[in-house]
Structure 1
Amino acid sequence: MARYRGPLEKLSRREGINLLLKGERSYSEKSSAVKRNFAPGQHGKENKKLTQYGKQLRSKQAVKRIYGVLEKQFRRYFEEAAKKEGQTGEILMQILESRLDTVVFQMGFAVNRRTARQMIRHGHILVNGSKVDIPSYRVKENDTIEVKESSRNIQQIKEGVDLAERLGRTPAWIDVNKDQFKGIFVRIPSIDEMDVPVDVQDIIELYSK
């Protein structure tokens, strides 16, 4: 399955949730996810009641799209979470939140996760002083993430820092010094701290059938 390359806000409209895929526009009233809060297509405005399976499927699709993960990889994350001791849904979300692309986004070095993936692949991000160019790299507690010094004037990175400062968006489990373009992934968050717009139990039930 290829990555989706169409209009990003169309995905938000499909899920009925603002997935915050566009950066600054997603936080404003200009967002089509806000202005046109109904599914795309000829019958998008029809109020269709979802079946239980349909609700579970939409929850899974929404989380996949938020984190930019394809089905095969998402399924592997679920299987990993299911094997560990604890609540599978919480562990699944913790795995997703500890991906390097998500951490770079949460630190404010990119306006969205898609841009964060691009920055990582192009070698602009260091983990504990070493270049890491794999967006799915799993960040560990107390790892230091920073923008390479020669990359700090890149417009996309400056836009991310500016947006994060204006929104005041820094999660409690991350410590960031935006002046130094550096942050520490202090700890793994609990699911109660994450802004998860769906019922994760839907995903567990879907995959457990």
Structure 2
Amino acid sequence: MARYHGPRARIARRYNDPIFGLSINKVLQKKNYAPGQHGKGRKRRSPFALQLIEKQKAKYTYGLLERPFYNLFVKAAKSKGITGEVMLQRLEARLDNTVYRLGIASTRREARQLTTHRHITVNGKVVNIPSYTLKPGDLVGVAQKSKEMEVITTNVTNHPSTKYNWLEWDAPSMVGKFVTFPQRSDIPEKINERSIVELYSK
């Protein structure tokens, strides 16, 4: 599975956002300016540069490379509704992202690993495709053989069960429900989806 393997702290500093997880916060506090020789004195960015930044930020946040991200945008553009919001809803409906949101994994990268290693089920069946798109009502859980894994039990124990209102979580059974596609106002990511739509519409 193709995914980003480069430096994470540098990317977080570039976009001034802890897009790879809360652990990057300490990096932003230590050096709160962009990386590179000219990080402290960058010129004003053009509209195109600002649009590109938003696209790159979204890609890194959700862990997609260019082609899968563009394909997802195309599907969103063909769907009913506001393209930018539909795009974010589809990103949130990915299995790896939902595993992360439910607290089964501490980061999206860890969620992808748990999924590909067959530790995650959808409606009772093992699904090892991180990009699998959930539908409202789907049940996402931990495979029976994996419920005693230390990394999973630790994550579940520290998980705030009512953090996202489009998800439900049953801690004793380690099963969550994807209730509905989230509203834009409920998605916490600081992404300007309109800029992404404008970039791809040129």
Fold match by TM threshold 0.5: yes
Per-residue Cα deviation, 1:102-133 (whole angstroms, up to 9, x for no partner): 01000000001000000000000010000000
2 CA distance for matches of 1:192 and 1:204?
A: 18
The runs of 4+ residues in structure 1 deviating greater than 6 Å are none
Does 1:152 find its partner at 2:150? Answer: no
Structure 2 regions of 5+ residues with no counterpart? none
Q: Match of 1:3, as an amino acid?
A: R
Question: Which residue is equivalent to 1:139?
Answer: 134
Q: Could you tell me whether the CA contact under 8 Å between 2:4 and 2:63 is conserved in 1?
A: no
Question: Which residue is equivalent to 1:192?
Answer: 185
Q: 1:38 to 1:76 in 2, by over 3 A?
A: same
User: Structure 2 residue aligned with 1:62, among 25, 33, 57?
Assistant: 57
User: Structure 1 residue aligned with 2:101, among 94, 97, 106?
Assistant: 106
Does 1:43 find its partner at 2:55? Answer: no
1 CA distance for matches of 2:157 and 2:50?
A: 36
Question: Which residue is equivalent to 1:14?
Answer: 14
Question: Which residue is equivalent to 2:5?
Answer: 5
TM-score of the two chains, using structure 1 as the length reference: 0.90
How far residue 38 of structure 1 moved from its aligned partner, in angstroms, is: 1.6
Aligned residues: percent identity? Answer: 38
Q: Could you tell me whether the CA contact under 8 Å between 2:162 and 2:168 is conserved in 1?
A: no
How far residue 47 of structure 1 moved from its aligned partner, in angstroms, is: 3.7
Q: 1:57 to 1:124 in 2, by over 3 A?
A: same
SS at match of 1:11: helix
Question: Which residue is equivalent to 1:76?
Answer: 71
How far residue 159 of structure 1 moved from its aligned partner, in angstroms, is: 3.3
Aligned residues: 201
TM-score of the two chains, using structure 2 as the length reference: 0.93
User: Structure 2 residue aligned with 1:88, among 83, 86, 89?
Assistant: 83
2 CA distance for matches of 1:48 and 1:140?
A: 44
